[in-house]
Amino acid sequence: MVKNLKSRVINEANHIINTNETIRQVAQKYQVSKSTVHKDLSERLKGIDQNLFNNVNEILQDHLAERHIRGGEVTKEKYAKKKG
């Protein structure tokens, strides 16, 4: 694996563990697509560091479980701004 790629994957993983940010937020910070971040954290990381992968995977599963709530909150805010 390319050294830059490996370090990017590890940096993204550490960042998501420390901040609990979403894949979109991590992608924006590292200026890569969210597809790239998702592949980095769900596939490439497993071959680099299994323990780090397990920690990140827990966070990603939590985000998956919460996404319908986040979407509802954003929609609610959107329509509240339109009213007032």
Amino acid at site 72? G
Local structure of 2: helix, strand or coil = coil
Burial of residue 37 (CB within 10 Å: 0-12, 13-18, 19+) is buried
Q: Give the model confidence (pLDDT) of 7-60 as tens digits.
A: 999 999 999 999 999 999 999 999 999 999 999 999 999 999 999 999 999 999
The domain ranges of the chain are 3-83
pLDDT at 67 over 80: no
Local structure of 66: helix, strand or coil = helix
Q: Place 84 in a pLDDT band, splitting at 50, 70 and 90.
A: low
Amino acid at site 73? E
Angle ∠(73,42,21) on CA atoms, nearest 5: 35
